[in-house]
């Protein structure tokens, strides 16, 4: 098992990429702290892990809250005594996120508070425990839109993911000699509830699909497998970089005529 004797904290763990990563990490031997604002679904993930012989606990946390982020790390230490992997994955893509003229300040602030501040708080409180545990791996969820922009306007989301990418690079440089690796996972368009609620018409879906060389949306399970690589010792010489898992979209992005 690739994560045997490791402890992993995963935010946004009740659905999508987070849920699939919780299940996979547990299967690979990790103790898992499932965190989310959705207590019902988060506990359901924990039960799935336990039913399959794994070890997991649920910790309710709103990552935009500094207190909650401190509490989720304290939960990891209390339950398992250490922390080796932190996957700062929780994020939103607001349905009212549009271009710079149509997007309300409240949508902008909410997006930044969860997508950017949540990563900052996770690292602020997670890094000291990872250091005390002998080092480990931090993975922050960015996005292909940090490079390309989106065919369907989502100004706050795009800006937030650019911030996550930049923050991940700086964190990696600062903590590299402490045995802590920091990398960003940048998914392409995925067939998850988060994106499908945003691409809520067939026209919007096609505007994305036309740019993807593989001709399909990615799956949450595929992102979980990529995250496993970044979390495991197989990526031991990787830090301060980005893992693009995007179906080729960043290599072949063209604007339709």
* Catalytic residue ranges: 157
CA gap 54, 255 in Å, rounded: 46
Q: Tokens at residue 95, please? A: 């349905």
SS3 142: coil
The string of DSSP codes covering 30-74 is -EEEEEES-HHHHHHHHHHHHHTT-EEEEEE--TT-HHHHHHHHH
Across the beta sheet with 242-245, what order do the strands follow? 55-60, 31-36, 7-11, 85-88, 136-141, 180-187, 242-245
Angle, helices 118-132/66-80, rounded to nearest 10 degrees: 30
Q: How far apart are CA 257 and CA 254, in angstroms?
A: 9
Give the distance from CA 85 to its chain's centroid: 12
Distance, in Å, from the CA atom of 202 to the CA atom of 200, rounded to the nearest integer, reads 7
């Amino acid at each position: 098992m690739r994560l045997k004797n490791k402890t992993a904290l995963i935010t946004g763990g009740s659905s999508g990429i987070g849920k699939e990563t919780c299940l996979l990490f547990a299967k690979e031997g990790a103790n898992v702290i499932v965190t989310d604002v959705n207590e019902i679904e988060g506990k359901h993930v924990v039960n799935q892990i336990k039913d399959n012989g794994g070890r997991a606990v649920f910790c309710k946390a709103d990552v935009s809250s500094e207190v909650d982020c401190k509490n989720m790390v304290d939960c990891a230490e209390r339950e398992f005594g250490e922390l080796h992997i932190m996957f700062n994955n929780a994020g939103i893509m607001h349905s009212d996120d549009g271009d710079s003229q149509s997007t309300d300040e409240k949508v902008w602030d909410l997006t930044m508070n969860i997508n950017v501040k949540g990563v900052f708080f996770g690292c602020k409180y997670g890094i000291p425990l990872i250091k005390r545990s002998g080092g480990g791996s931090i993975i922050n969820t960015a996005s292909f839109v940090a490079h390309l922009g989106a065919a369907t306007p989502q100004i706050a989301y795009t800006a937030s993911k650019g911030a996550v990418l930049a923050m991940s690079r700086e964190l990696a440089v600062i903590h590299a000699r402490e045995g802590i690796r920091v990398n960003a996972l940048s998914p392409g368009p995925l067939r998850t509830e988060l994106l499908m609620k945003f691409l809520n018409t067939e026209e919007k879906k096609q505007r994305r699909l036309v740019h993807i060389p593989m001709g399909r949306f990615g799956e949450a399970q595929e992102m979980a497998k990529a995250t496993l690589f970044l979390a495991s010792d197989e990526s031991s010489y990787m830090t301060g970089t980005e893992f693009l898992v995007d179906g080729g979209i960043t290599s072949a992005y063209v604007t339709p005529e």
